[in-house]
Chains A and B, each alone.
Chain A
Amino acid sequence: MQKIENAIERAIKFRANGIFVSETFDLARKQATKAIENGLKPFPIVVKDCFLTKDAPTTCASQMLANYIPPTTSTVVDRIVRKGGCIIGKTNMDEFCMGTSSQLGHFGPVKSNIRSEGGIEEDWMIPGGSSGGSAVAVQTGIADVALGSDTGGSTRNPAAFNGIFGLKPTYGVLSRQGLIPLVNSLDAPSIFARSAEECWDFLDKTRGLDDNDSTSIDLPESENLDSLKNLRVGVPIEYHNEKLSENAWKIWNHAINVLKNEGAEIFEISLPHTKYSLSCYSVIAAADVASNMARYDSVAYGHRSSNNSSTHEMYAESRSESLNTVVRRRILAGNYFLMKKYRSKYYEKALKIRRLINDEIINSFNNLDVIITPTASGKPPKYSELRDTLYSKEDDDDYFTQAANLAGIPSISVPSTQNENRENYPIAVQIMGNRLNDRLVCDVARMIHTKF
């Protein structure tokens, strides 16, 4: 119980960081009491605000859902609460998970706690996104583990920017029931923690089939890996590109050296289609966004405009008033890509490219156990930088993470320890494995980290 009270105290201490959309302290206390009654050890968690929680608002950081309290709780949240998880709060994010900065949500920006000595009022480090709030909550020690979501890197990217671990499991291993979708075929509930073991532990507690999610799958039992000896590691050359900062390149090399020193075999590989992942992702994502967002018509729930002059006027005004520019742009683009006239030119092409990217990665695992790449192009930017470049840097970072979503494979972001990192900013590498090798990527991450 003391643990929960400590977490609440820290949550209050870090209020200025904009970590939470809703604080649910009383709920956490109630859950802790119940856990103790059931003979469990309560532990603090935070949940990204795109997961349904019956007892607290679920807003997706959007005005559209600003007052929305869902009728049910998502499967993953339900499972972790049953194991003793106590929800300290619902965390802030990019509106409807669209973005890699957590800056443009309806409830204000999330401010990183990294290098915050000079204060965070005027300028601050970007926590990454879209699950920025969850990442900062773990970095600041409010929660041991946090739930995020990862569609194109939304967990691994903020994990990298905050110097913690971020695990995106194999698609389907964590149920999507109760996760407000971004791109249904790419979305994966994902995990933040300060160690790879904790990431695995959370996954182990919540994984598996769910009757409510027809795309959910079971993870086969697998042995714990104790040595990196003879591990076959692929290093894709396409991730060494003009976007990659020198520092990030050094850290990546360092990680490869660690692996080599531990007896792993290193192979240079080529994944030539990876360079298309950004445009492929943009089209597929926009199409799903357009479709998924169609339900927000303000008829039965959600923000409703005072303009009621006609049904269509009401739809349009309510949506324009309550969805931000990023969201509205993607809706427009998605509807365009799905139109009869353009469908084969964009949407169907993107699906084909997705298949190529997928096959290329999956085939590479015929001869490899894991692939290692940088998680992001470099250190986290400052808010002022991002603002001045109109958020274009977001795309640079997406490049490194999207392929794992397009292939549905597990991937974990591993933070480097500070000693090799002269600038003292968090930088990370990601370990990707074949589908259902979630345990393997966690084990490799754990072993690298001790020497990293």
Chain B
Amino acid sequence: MNGVHIQLNTRTKLFSRTLNGESSPNRLVSPLDMATPGILPSLNRKCVLHALKMGMLFNCEIPKISRFDRKHYFYADMPAGYQITQNEKPIAKNGRFGFYVFDEKIEPYWKEVDIIQLQLEQDSGKTIHIDNKSLIDYNRAGCALVEVVTTPCFSTALEAICFVQQLRLILMNYGICDGEMHKGQIRVDANVSLSFDDITGTRTEIKNMNSIRSIHTAINYEIARQFEILSNGGIVINETRAADNEERTVSMRDKEVETDYRFMVEPNLPNLVIKDEWLDSVRQSLNSTSKPKFEILREKYGFDARSSIHISEDSQLLRFVEKCVEFGATRTILIWMRELKTIMQRSKSVYPPQSQFFIRQFVDLIGFFEAGRLTRLRMLDLLRIYSTSEQEIRNVEQLIDDNNYWKITDETEIMQIVENVLENPKNLKIVEKLRTGFHAKSFNKIRNLIVDLSEKRIEVEEVENILRTKFNLVQ
């Protein structure tokens, strides 16, 4: 069982009317949030609607009645001595979530996981340790979380991070969570166990990971650690561990004993009966929101899974790509985006550029290249000009016309240029060398001279082919 804690981006907290947000310590605290006695919880409707939205997105059953429970444990930043959560009757259950698994090395594949339940619950405060003092900030105490609880279904750390990555993008798209992981808006608990011959081993739980990177390294570390223990005939202890700053997991000593949470029904809140009109409004809101950007890039524009997610995770990059596709670009821009990035980084310009004019020229250039009207080298030159010079205001077509940068397609014209170089007396010695067999240095020299003479209007590869044929060279 794995849990992803999603902080809902509602205006106020789950059971109090305190603002949900950022502030200096202990500024966003009401009596309920710090559990002063005699104050009752009142459920925030918006949080319920957000949770229902998640339920629908993840294809969950949504029971007519759900209810809240108290989960007891002592922790300094948990002021009531219990957390109000949903244990037995959650707001949504038995769902399914599909996502792509990918990295640089593997062919992307589709995976579906079973979601056991979604539970609405309170967040705790934060303990800050300074020297030997522990200070508590209650700003986060009582904020609304939805915990997404999945079955033990992930085979690799990669699957786990791809799941979280895509979950995050979807929740952000539908305005449920702001998705800022470094601020703890998404926190992951991962249970790790090794199995052998289908016998599942003892699991450990790594708690509270709040970056994709730490999820990846911590799970892998934990797998290696358990493998090592088991290989040496040892026993894995069922315990709670934390990811440290050095890509390891460490035991959290205070939780070695299994906690008995002594669940009981929260007596101050009646059963939550889901009204049909809430479901209708949630359905409507989902239908009127466009699909997540990464899905659009993939489904409509044919981007591969990895790039579409990579692009979606960077709002600047996403804006750039969206503009490009709006101007008619397709997934082939990916190659040129890499070139553009290198060029711009070299010239210390800001990548990706956001100027509409540039993006238009960029897309047109790619169009010309793909139509076989520009060479690669000329293309790079032009990219350099447009991405670094602020003066150039002519559009690319005009500029290319004016300077006649178009690729030479006429065979005789090409041969003419080739002959000019080969017959130039200055090059006689080099040409001689080529006649006697393949000589890399001479070959390249001649090739470059030809490309230069053409003003980069013949493709390098084309020149090479011509030379090979002409001198009957085998490489």
| Residues in chain A within 8 A of chain B (CB atoms) | 50-52, 58, 60, 65, 70-72, 74, 176-181, 183-185, 211-215, 287-288, 290-297, 299-301, 311-312, 315, 335, 338-341, 343, 347
Contact for A184 among B42, B79, B263, B268, CB less than 8 A = B268
A294 vs B78: C-alpha distance when bound (angstroms): 10
- Please report which residues of chain B, range 262-280, place their CB below 8 angstroms from some CB of chain A when the two chains form the complex: 262-264, 267-270
**Chain A hits for B76, CB < 8 A:** 297, 299, 311
When the two chains form their complex, are residues A297 and B264 in contact, meaning their CB atoms are under 8 A apart? no
A50 vs B38: C-alpha distance when bound (angstroms): 8
Given contacts A214-B268, A338-B264, A340-B260, contact A294 B40 (CB under 8 A): no
When the two chains form their complex, are residues B40 and A213 in contact, meaning their CB atoms are under 8 A apart? yes
When the two chains form their complex, are residues A338 and B262 in contact, meaning their CB atoms are under 8 A apart? yes
Q: What 15 new A-B contacts, CB under 8 Å, besides A71-B36, A212-B40, A299-B76?
A: A177-B38, A184-B267, A212-B39, A214-B269, A288-B264, A291-B72, A294-B80, A296-B81, A300-B35, A300-B136, A315-B74, A338-B262, A340-B260, A340-B262, A341-B260
**Chain B hits for A288, CB < 8 A:** 264, 267
25 A/B residue pairs, CB under 8 Å, sorted by A: A70-B36, A70-B38, A71-B36, A180-B37, A180-B38, A181-B37, A214-B41, A215-B268, A215-B269, A215-B270, A288-B267, A291-B81, A291-B262, A291-B264, A292-B37, A294-B72, A294-B80, A294-B82, A295-B81, A296-B81, A297-B74, A299-B79, A299-B136, A300-B79, A339-B262
When the two chains form their complex, are residues A72 and B79 in contact, meaning their CB atoms are under 8 A apart? no
With an 8 A cutoff between CB atoms, is B466 at the interface? no
When the two chains form their complex, are residues A294 and B81 in contact, meaning their CB atoms are under 8 A apart? yes
When the two chains form their complex, are residues B42 and A52 in contact, meaning their CB atoms are under 8 A apart? no
**Chain B hits for A343, CB < 8 A:** 262-263
A180 vs B268: C-alpha distance when bound (angstroms): 12
What is the distance, in angstroms, from B67's C-beta to the closest C-beta of chain A? Answer: 12
A185 vs B266: C-alpha distance when bound (angstroms): 10
Q: Binding site of B, secondary structure by majority: helix, strand, loop or mixed?
A: loop
| Residues in chain B within 8 A of chain A (CB atoms) | 31, 34-43, 70, 72, 74, 76, 79-82, 134, 136, 138, 260, 262-264, 267-270
When the two chains form their complex, are residues A291 and B82 in contact, meaning their CB atoms are under 8 A apart? yes
**Chain A hits for B260, CB < 8 A:** 339-341
When the two chains form their complex, are residues B37 and A65 in contact, meaning their CB atoms are under 8 A apart? yes
When the two chains form their complex, are residues B36 and A185 in contact, meaning their CB atoms are under 8 A apart? no
A176 vs B263: C-alpha distance when bound (angstroms): 23
Given contacts A72-B31, A299-B76, A338-B264, contact A178 B39 (CB under 8 A): yes
A213 vs B40: C-alpha distance when bound (angstroms): 6
When the two chains form their complex, are residues B74 and A294 in contact, meaning their CB atoms are under 8 A apart? yes
**Chain A hits for B39, CB < 8 A:** 72, 177-178, 212
Most buried by A among B39, B42, B80: B39
Contact for A295 among B79, B138, B268, CB less than 8 A = B79
What is the distance, in angstroms, from B434's C-beta to the closest C-beta of chain A? Answer: 83
Q: Across the two chains, which residue of chain A brings its CB closest to B31?
A: A71
**Chain A hits for B74, CB < 8 A:** 294, 297, 312, 315
What is the distance, in angstroms, from B244's C-beta to the closest C-beta of chain A? Answer: 21
What is the distance, in angstroms, from A228's C-beta to the closest C-beta of chain B? Answer: 36
Q: Across the two chains, which residue of chain B brings its CB closest to A176?
A: B40
A213 vs B270: C-alpha distance when bound (angstroms): 10
What is the distance, in angstroms, from B5's C-beta to the closest C-beta of chain A? Answer: 22
When the two chains form their complex, are residues B38 and A181 in contact, meaning their CB atoms are under 8 A apart? yes
Given contacts A180-B38, A214-B268, A291-B264, contact A338 B81 (CB under 8 A): no
A211 vs B40: C-alpha distance when bound (angstroms): 10
When the two chains form their complex, are residues B38 and A52 in contact, meaning their CB atoms are under 8 A apart? yes
Contact for A335 among B70, B262, B268, B269, CB less than 8 A = B262
**Chain B hits for A296, CB < 8 A:** 37, 81
Q: Across the two chains, which residue of chain B brings its CB closest to A334?
A: B262
When the two chains form their complex, are residues A214 and B270 in contact, meaning their CB atoms are under 8 A apart? yes
Closest A-B pairs by Cβ, 9 of them: A294-B81, A184-B267, A338-B262, A180-B38, A295-B35, A180-B37, A185-B267, A295-B80, A52-B38
What is the distance, in angstroms, from B127's C-beta to the closest C-beta of chain A? Answer: 10
What is the distance, in angstroms, from B26's C-beta to the closest C-beta of chain A? Answer: 9
Q: Across the two chains, which residue of chain A brings its CB closest to B38?
A: A180
When the two chains form their complex, are residues B42 and A212 in contact, meaning their CB atoms are under 8 A apart? yes
When the two chains form their complex, are residues B134 and A214 in contact, meaning their CB atoms are under 8 A apart? no
What is the distance, in angstroms, from B313's C-beta to the closest C-beta of chain A? Answer: 39
Q: Across the two chains, which residue of chain B brings its CB closest to A213?
A: B40
**Chain A hits for B82, CB < 8 A:** 291, 294
A55 vs B80: C-alpha distance when bound (angstroms): 24
When the two chains form their complex, are residues B134 and A301 in contact, meaning their CB atoms are under 8 A apart? no
Most buried by B among A52, A213, A292, A293: A292
When the two chains form their complex, are residues B42 and A211 in contact, meaning their CB atoms are under 8 A apart? yes
A443 vs B270: C-alpha distance when bound (angstroms): 31
What is the distance, in angstroms, from B260's C-beta to the closest C-beta of chain A? Answer: 5
**Chain B hits for A338, CB < 8 A:** 72, 262-264
A292 vs B264: C-alpha distance when bound (angstroms): 11
A184 vs B265: C-alpha distance when bound (angstroms): 11
**Chain B hits for A178, CB < 8 A:** 38-39
Q: Across the two chains, which residue of chain B brings its CB closest to A347?
A: B264
Q: Across the two chains, which residue of chain B brings its CB closest to A340?
A: B260
A294 vs B38: C-alpha distance when bound (angstroms): 13
When the two chains form their complex, are residues B40 and A177 in contact, meaning their CB atoms are under 8 A apart? yes
Q: Across the two chains, which residue of chain A brings its CB closest to B134?
A: A311
**Chain B hits for A183, CB < 8 A:** 267
What is the distance, in angstroms, from B14's C-beta to the closest C-beta of chain A? Answer: 13
A185 vs B267: C-alpha distance when bound (angstroms): 6
**Chain A hits for B35, CB < 8 A:** 295, 300
Q: Across the two chains, which residue of chain B brings its CB closest to A314?
A: B76
What is the distance, in angstroms, from B84's C-beta to the closest C-beta of chain A? Answer: 11
A331 vs B70: C-alpha distance when bound (angstroms): 16
A70 vs B138: C-alpha distance when bound (angstroms): 18
A197 vs B400: C-alpha distance when bound (angstroms): 99
A176 vs B24: C-alpha distance when bound (angstroms): 32
A181 vs B34: C-alpha distance when bound (angstroms): 16
A47 vs B37: C-alpha distance when bound (angstroms): 17
A128 vs B80: C-alpha distance when bound (angstroms): 31
A288 vs B82: C-alpha distance when bound (angstroms): 12
Q: Across the two chains, which residue of chain A brings its CB closest to B26?
A: A300
A315 vs B263: C-alpha distance when bound (angstroms): 21
**Chain A hits for B31, CB < 8 A:** 70-72
A215 vs B41: C-alpha distance when bound (angstroms): 10
When the two chains form their complex, are residues B38 and A74 in contact, meaning their CB atoms are under 8 A apart? yes
**Chain A hits for B37, CB < 8 A:** 52, 60, 65, 70, 180-181, 292, 295-296
A312 vs B35: C-alpha distance when bound (angstroms): 19
What is the distance, in angstroms, from B138's C-beta to the closest C-beta of chain A? Answer: 8
A70 vs B41: C-alpha distance when bound (angstroms): 17
A215 vs B269: C-alpha distance when bound (angstroms): 7
When the two chains form their complex, are residues A290 and B40 in contact, meaning their CB atoms are under 8 A apart? no
Q: Across the two chains, which residue of chain A brings its CB closest to B35?
A: A295
What is the distance, in angstroms, from B461's C-beta to the closest C-beta of chain A? Answer: 71
A214 vs B42: C-alpha distance when bound (angstroms): 6
Q: Across the two chains, which residue of chain B brings its CB closest to A316?
A: B74
When the two chains form their complex, are residues B268 and A290 in contact, meaning their CB atoms are under 8 A apart? no
**Chain B hits for A176, CB < 8 A:** 40, 268
Q: Across the two chains, which residue of chain B brings its CB closest to A185?
A: B267
**Chain B hits for A290, CB < 8 A:** 72, 262
What is the distance, in angstroms, from A307's C-beta to the closest C-beta of chain B? Answer: 16
A58 vs B36: C-alpha distance when bound (angstroms): 11
Most buried by A among B41, B70, B76, B267: B267
A50 vs B270: C-alpha distance when bound (angstroms): 23
Most buried by A among B34, B35, B262, B268: B262
